A and B are shown apart, each in its own frame.
Chain A
Amino acid sequence: MNAEAFDVAVVGGGLHGLSAALHLARIGRSVCVIERRWTGRHASGATAAGVRTLNRDLAEVPISLEAMAMWHRIAEIVGDDCGFQAHGQINVAERQEQMPTLLRREAKMRSLGYSHEELVDAKELRRLVPALSPHCVGALVARRDGAADPHRTVLAFRRACEAEGVVVAEGCGVEAVDRQGADWLLACGARRFRAPIVVNAGGAWAARLAALFGDEIALGVRASMMIVTERLAPLLAPVVSVIGRALSFKQSDQGTLVIGGGLQGAADLDRERSTVNFAELAKGARAASDLFPAVRGVRIARCWTGIEAQTRDHLPVIGASPNAAGLFHIFGFSGHGFQLVPVVGAITAELVAEGRSRRDISAFVPQRLMQERTAA
C-alpha cells in the first residue's frame, strides 16, 4: 500500500494540533493532521474557551502574554476573530481574609516586571460587574483577557490550515508506528502516512501515542464539567472566577451563561466518553447562585464534560522527544491550554525548523515526566 508522504504529520485534530499544522505550513512544510474522530471532537470542542493570562503559573506567563498579543490580532492569523472579546478576567475575593493572597500575587507580578494583573477594591469591582453579590470585597483583574467561541475557533483554525494546503484526515486513528529509513510510518486503518517529523498533539491520549514511539510519559486525565443555561439579557461582560471555589462564570455572545471552573466528572479513555457527576456539579451551581443571586431561577439547557490531559505539575509538555528522532510533543495543558493555542503553534514550528526555541520552554520539557532509565 502506498503511504501518503508529508514533511510533518501532526497527530491530533484539536486546536493545538491545528495551530501547529498552520504555523508549520506557513514556513513551507507540507503537513497533514491525522485525527481519530473529527477536528475539535474532545477538549477543543468542550472547552469554556477562556483567554486568560490571569493567575498563570510563573513559568507560563511569558508565552501566555505573547499568546495574548496574538489573540488581539487573531483575525490576521486565522481570518476570523474567533468570537474573541477582551472583556477581562476577574478573580474575586468573597472575604476580607482572602485579600492578602491577592495582594501578594500582585506584588510578586510587579516585582517580576509584569503589569497585566491589577488589584481592584470593592467599588471598582462593583463597577466592572454590577450583577455580582455585594458581599464580595475585591479582586484581581486582567483587563486585556477575555473569552472566545470554541466552535468558531476550531472552524477558523481548520479553514486557515486548509487554505495553506494542510491535509486534514479525519476518522484516522494511529494504530501502529514504524521507522522506515528517515521517516516515520503511521498506520491508521486502511490509510498510511509517512513523514520524517511527527507532532504529538493527542491531548488526553497523547501518552498512549508517545508510548508507540518509546516515550513513557506520566499523564493524568481530567473531565471538567460545564453548565450552559438558557439565554438571558446581558448580565455581565468579564469572565469571573472566585478564590477557593470551583467556579468560572461568563455570558456568551448568544446570552447563555457558561459555567465551569474545573469540577470533575468521570473520564473513560478507552470508550472516549466522559460523564457528568451532578452531585459534584451542584457545587458549581451553588457557587454561581451565591455569587450572582439573580441567576437562581435561570434554567440549565445542558451540561457536559470534555476529556483532557493533566500533568502532575499542571504545566504542559512542549518539546522534542529525548528518544525518538523527529518526534515533538505538545500536550498536557491541564485545563488551561486554550489561550496558549496560537503561541504553542509558533513554538512548534520553531522547534521543527531550528531544533530549539527562542522562548523559555525549559519548564515544559517532556523529560521531567519520564522515568529515569536505569543504566544497564
Chain B
Amino acid sequence: MSQNPSDIRHTDLLIVGAGPAGMAAAVTVRRHGLSVRVIDDQPAPGGQIWRGIETVAATPRLARLGEAYRAGVDRAAAFRACGALYEPQSQLWQIEPGFRAFLTREGRARSVKAAAVILATGAQERPVPFPGWTLPGVLTVGAAQILLKTADSVPDKPVWIAGCGPLPLLYMTQLLAAGGRIAGFLDTTPRGRLGAAMRHLPRGLGRFGDLLKGLSWSLALKRAGFPIVRHVAELRAEGEGRLERLYYRTQEGRENTVAAEVLLVHEGVVPSVHAPLALGCATRWDAGQNCLIPVLDGWGETSQANVFVVGDGAGIGGAEAAELRGRLAALRVVSRFGRLDGGGLEAAARSERKALAHALALRPFLDALYAPRPQVFAPPDETLVCRCEEVTAGELRSRAVQGRPGPNQLKAFTRAGMGPCQGRQCGYTLAHIVAAAQNRPVEEVGFYRIRPPLKPVTLGELASLDEQEPAA
C-alpha cells in the first residue's frame, strides 16, 4: 500500500507493537487479505529482542549479538513486505471501546478505528528498588543492552552486574564480545533454586539447545575471570550525587563494599499490562512469574471481545512463543472476518499450538530457577519505591496499616503511582508492601486503576486533536 497511513482512518485490525508477536500477527492477517495498521514506539521494526535489526544487519555487530538476534533480519523483511500500514515512532495513549485508538506521531495526535485489536506491547523489566537505586550510574541490564544493540555503546568503565535470569548472562557475553569490561557479577539467584527447578526439567529437555546455550554462556563467563559472587541477597548503592560504592550481602552473611561507577541490575521481566488493564480486560495473578497476566483463551483473546494480547504481554515466553501467539490470534481475527471457516481455522492452528507448547516447555524450569529473591518485594524503609513522586517503602508501610487501604487509596494518600510512569515502576512493589503489612496474599491486594493516557501526551498534541476531529 502506498497511501500515507495517516490518511486512512479505519482498518480491520489494529496491532500495537512491532516486535516478534506483532510482526507475525501482521504477516498472517495480511496473507488472508485483511487490512491492518501496526503502530509502534520504535523507529524501526523488531521490538526489544530485534531492536535496530535493519540497520545492524549491515554491520559486524550482527555477528557479535548472536544467532537469536540474527533471526530477526528475515522477520523484519517479511513484515516490511506484507502490506500492513506501518506507523513507527507512534505512541498509543488510549483505546476506547468500539475501537477507537488515540495515538501521537510527529507531535500530532489523531484517532484511528479498527474492528479488532491485538496488543503486542511486550514486557518491561521488573522494577528492583533498593537503597540508592535511583543514583546516576545505576541502570538496568535491559537499558544497557538497548544501547549496545542500537549504538554499539559499551560503558568505558568496568561494570558491576547484579541480578538473575538469562538476560544478564546474555548481556555479559555480548558485552565481552564488544570489548567491554566486567568488574563482577553479583548473582542474586537464591541458594537451592536449581534443586527446586529440576522437577520442571524433564518437560524442558526438548529444549536441549536452549539449555546448552545457557550453559555455554555460564562457562564463557567463568573463563573470563571476573569475580562472581553467588546468593547475593541485599544491595545498596552509595555515593555523593552518583554511584561510587556498592555494598552487598550474601544469604550466608558475607558482606562487602566495593568501588563501583556503573551498576546494572536485572531481576527478570514482567508483561506490560497497562493497556489491557486500561481496556478493562480481566487479569489474574501468576504465582510462577510473580506478576499479573491477562486472562486469555487459547487464541489470546481477553475478556473483552476482539481484544487480543500476544507476545510477552500474554505471559513471559520469549520471542519464539511470541511469534506463535501472534499467529494464533491473527488466525482467530481472520476467522471472525469470515476469511477462514471453522475447519480451516483449526487446521491452521494445530501446528502453531504444537509449536507453542514446545517453545514454552523450558519456561517452568526458568521461572522456578530465576524466581525473584524475596528482598526484591520487601525493600528497606529508606528505599524510594515511587521515584516519580518520591515515596519511600517506609511511608507506604506505615500508611498500609492505617485502616486497610488498597493500592488506589494509598495512591490518594501518598501520591505513589501518580507520576508520569503511571505506576509502572512502583505498582508491584506497593502491592507486595500492602500484602505484607496487612498479612494477606498479594493476589488479593489488586493493582492501581490505570488512568489514561497510557503514554504521556502533551497539551498541545491533545489540542491538535480538537483541530482535526469532525464535529460530533
Contact = CB atoms under 8 A, between A and B. Distances in A.
Interface of A: 38, 40, 45, 151, 154-155, 170, 227-230, 254, 259, 275-283, 285-286, 288-290, 295-304
A283 B451 contact: no
B154 to A, nearest CB: 32
Interface stretch (B26-34, B193-201, B255-263, B458-466): B458-466
Contact of A300 (B405, B409, B457, B464): B457
A300 B467 CA distance: 18
B467 A286 contact: yes
Contacts of B444: none
Q: Is the interface of A mostly helix, strand, loop or mixed?
A: mixed
Given A230-B456, A279-B472, A304 B451 contact: yes
A224 to B, nearest CB: 14
Interface of B: 94, 96, 102, 109, 111, 403, 405, 409, 412-413, 415, 418-420, 422, 451-453, 456-460, 462-467, 469, 472
Residue among B102, B109, B412, B422 with max Cβ neighbours from chain A (10 Å): B412
Contacts of B466: 279, 282-283, 285-286
Contact of B452 (A151, A276, A296, A298): A276
Contacts of A296: 458-460, 463
Contacts of A259: 459
Contacts of B413: 151, 155
A47 to B, nearest CB: 12
A278 B452 contact: yes
Contacts of A301: 418-420, 422, 456
A303 B452 contact: yes
9 contacts: A38-B409, A154-B412, A155-B413, A282-B465, A288-B459, A289-B463, A296-B459, A297-B460, A300-B459
Given A230-B420, A303-B452, A278 B102 contact: yes
B463 to A, nearest CB: 4
A258 B431 CA distance: 27
A230 B472 CA distance: 30
B451 A45 contact: no
B97 to A, nearest CB: 8
Contact of A295 (B96, B420, B459, B465): B459
Given A279-B472, A289-B459, A299-B457, 4 more contacts: A286-B462, A286-B467, A300-B456, A301-B418
A299 B465 contact: no
A38 B405 CA distance: 9
A45 B412 contact: yes
Nearest to B472: A279
A223 to B, nearest CB: 14
B451 A302 contact: yes
Contacts of A297: 458-460
B434 to A, nearest CB: 14
A282 B466 CA distance: 5
A320 B94 CA distance: 44
A285 B463 contact: yes
6 closest A-B pairs by beta carbon, nearest first, are: A296-B460, A285-B462, A282-B466, A299-B456, A282-B465, A286-B463
- Most chain B CB within 10 A, of A228, A285, A296, is at A285
A278 to B, nearest CB: 5
A289 B457 contact: no
Contacts of B452: 276, 278, 302-303
A279 B469 contact: yes
Which of B111, B405, B459 is most buried by chain A, counting CB atoms within 10 A of its CB?
B459
Contacts of A298: 458-459
B contact face: mostly helix, strand, loop, or mixed: mixed
B460 A303 contact: no
A283 B469 CA distance: 10
Contacts of A303: 451-453
B396 to A, nearest CB: 15
A297 B94 CA distance: 19
A206 to B, nearest CB: 22
Contacts of B94: 276, 278
A276 B449 CA distance: 14
Given A276-B94, A279-B472, A297-B460, A302 B422 contact: yes
Contacts of B456: 230, 299-301
Contacts of B111: 278-279
Contacts of A285: 459-460, 462-463, 465-466
A117 to B, nearest CB: 29
A277 to B, nearest CB: 8
B458 A288 contact: no
A302 B418 contact: yes
Nearest to B451: A302
A278 B465 contact: yes
Nearest to A275: B96
A299 B460 CA distance: 9
A276 B452 CA distance: 8
A155 B462 CA distance: 33
Contact of A281 (B409, B420, B462): B462
Nearest to B462: A285
Contacts of A299: 420, 456-458
Contacts of A288: 459, 463
Contacts of B109: 282
Among B96, B419, B458, B464: residue with most chain A CB under 10 A? B458
A280 B415 CA distance: 27
Contacts of B467: 286
Contact of B463 (A170, A275, A279, A282): A282
A172 to B, nearest CB: 14
A280 B102 CA distance: 13
A155 B402 CA distance: 12
Contacts of A280: 472
Contacts of B403: 170
A288 B102 CA distance: 20
A114 B432 CA distance: 55
A281 B459 CA distance: 10
A134 B458 CA distance: 22
B446 to A, nearest CB: 13
A303 B422 CA distance: 11
A14 B464 CA distance: 36
A289 B460 contact: yes
Contacts of A40: 412
B459 A151 contact: no
Contact of A229 (B96, B451, B459, B464): B459
A151 B409 CA distance: 10
Nearest to B460: A296
A149 to B, nearest CB: 10
A256 to B, nearest CB: 9
A229 B456 CA distance: 9
Contact of B462 (A275, A277, A278): A278
A286 to B, nearest CB: 4
A167 to B, nearest CB: 13
A282 B403 CA distance: 39
Contacts of B472: 279-280
A151 B389 CA distance: 15
Given A40-B412, A278-B111, A286-B467, A300 B451 contact: no
A370 B209 CA distance: 76
B191 to A, nearest CB: 42
A300 B412 contact: no
